[in-house]
Amino acid sequence: MRPGAKALSLLAVPLNVSVLRALEEEGKSLADLRQAVGHPPASTMRTYLRELTELGIVERERETGFPGSVGFGITPSGEALLAVGKTLQRWLDRAPDARVALGTVAAKSATKALVDGWSTGIVRALAARPFALTELHRLLPQISYPSLERRLTAMRTIGQVEAQRDRSSRGTPYRATEWLRRAATPLAAATGWERCRIPGETGAPGRIDVEAAFLLAVPLLDLPADASGVCRLAVELRNGSETSYAGVKITIDEGRMVSCLTRLEGDAACLGERVPRKLAGLGSRVLWGGWSRDWRRRLPCPHRHGRVSGGAIAGGSGPARAVRRTSRKAPGCTSSRTRKNTERHLQGSFLARQQGLTTQQHLS
């Protein structure tokens, strides 16, 4: 199960959502809780409460009035999961056909389709470019063709992918819809919750997760017409003593994104002020760096270096400075001195050492 999938799977269950909402104001006895959530079968209620209790989302409370009676209350972890639910609800509000309410069967179907696509790698593939079903099967051979077709059909029915007319292709290519791209926000929020609240239950984000989040979200950026340059967005990933980077390099020409590649090598452009919230929650640190074609203006993409923890950003030492070009050569044709200065600038200014959380910016 990929990072973020566990939290979203919990919120996909209507009974879990009803239980958390019922306990949000105050704790309740088991009888009152069953009544508040619509009198589900006792065995079903016990099963879901057991899982929520084991994950530390709700806690058992002894009732003082009656010996042996048990009540339930929500924990800080449960309250944080409800906050992720609000982020998920904002995404569901943008459903193509009509607003979908969290805690309903429709929300369960939409969230489950997203989780299945995310966990199997379908979302990562379609975030980069359209693929036909046969192409996806070759790309994801670990998934059987019928299973892949079933998941893709579910995502298409709900509006997360759409068919693209392409006469040059033998099959029907499918592409990510804008709604699916906006799912980067709840996925990031869910991943942040897991790393903060249940780190032992789920794996840490890896290269594929980081690339998928950036590939989903970057095409949604609204850029001014005079913005041009190349920028690099990367997350530092740690595996013991080993450090690696994952992310994308974006080329922008007069406000239009020309390319978005997962290869981070090469020159990049210095950007603006802070990390976009939808891109937070995926790693230990965020790195944006390089220089712009026109050093006098900054590209409008917001950024700020800092440590990402639990879906929030710990601020670094300040916004990055624009790096002046020392050569009039075409972009990508820079001197060794310029490259060395830039890399030194990146290492010094854009990589903040991990520190305690100073400010929080909740995902939206």
Cβ-contact 36, 49 below 8 angstroms: no
Give residue 277's pLDDT: 45
When pLDDT is cut at 50, 70 and 90, the band that residue 267 belongs to is low
Give residue 64's pLDDT: 62
The per-residue pLDDT for range 167-221, each reduced to its tens digit, is 666 789 999 999 999 999 999 999 999 999 999 998 889 999 999 999 999 999 8
Give residue 104's pLDDT: 97
Cβ-contact 120, 155 below 8 angstroms: no
Burial class (CB in 10 A: 0-12, 13-18, 19+), 168: exposed
What tokens appear for 19 in the block?
């239980």
**% helix / strand / coil in the chain, to the nearest 5?**
40, 15, 40
- How far apart (Å, rounded) are the C-alpha atoms in residues 333 and 276? 29
Topology match between the domains 5-86 and 95-181? yes
Give residue 100's pLDDT: 96
Q: What is the mean pLDDT of residues 143-160?
A: 96
When pLDDT is cut at 50, 70 and 90, the band that residue 102 belongs to is very high
Three-state SS across 224-272?
CCCCCEEEEEEEEEEECCEEEEEEEEEEEECCEEEEEECCCCCCCCCCC
Please state the separation of Cα 133 from the chain's center in Å: 25
Most confident of 4-13, 61-70, 231-240: 4-13
**Domain map of the chain by residue range?**
5-86, 95-181, 205-350
Rounded to 10 deg, the angle between the 76-92 and 5-12 helix axes is: 80
Helix (H) or strand (E) holding 85: helix 76-92
Query: Residues of the chain with pLDDT > 70: what percent?
Result: 70
The per-residue pLDDT for range 298-318, each reduced to its tens digit, is 333 333 333 332 222 222 222
Give residue 348's pLDDT: 29
Helix (H) or strand (E) holding 148: helix 145-158
Flag the least confident range among 17-26, 38-47, 60-69: 60-69
Give residue 272's pLDDT: 40
pLDDT at 320 over 60: no
The CATH code that applies to domain 95-181 is 1.10.10.10
Higher pLDDT, 258 or 166: 258
Most confident of 4-13, 29-38, 69-78, 337-346: 4-13
Q: In angstroms, how far is the first alpha carbon of the chain from the final one?
A: 24
Q: How much is the mean pLDDT over the chain? A: 76
Q: What is the mean pLDDT of residues 21-35?
A: 92
When pLDDT is cut at 50, 70 and 90, the band that residue 240 belongs to is confident
Q: What is the mean pLDDT of residues 38-53?
A: 94
pLDDT at 163 over 50: yes
When pLDDT is cut at 50, 70 and 90, the band that residue 65 belongs to is low
Give residue 226's pLDDT: 87
Flag the least confident range among 88-102, 231-245, 328-342, 349-363: 349-363
CATH architecture label of 5-86:
Orthogonal Bundle (1.10)
Please state the separation of Cα 86 from the chain's center in Å: 15
Give residue 68's pLDDT: 55
When pLDDT is cut at 50, 70 and 90, the band that residue 242 belongs to is confident
Query: Residues of the chain with pLDDT > 90: what percent?
Result: 52
- How far apart (Å, rounded) are the C-alpha atoms in residues 158 and 96? 8
- How far apart (Å, rounded) are the C-alpha atoms in residues 173 and 9? 28
Q: What is the mean pLDDT of residues 149-160?
A: 97
Give residue 233's pLDDT: 87
For 296-319, b where at least 16 C-beta lie within 10 A, e where not — what string? eebbbbbbbbbbbbbbbbbbbeeb
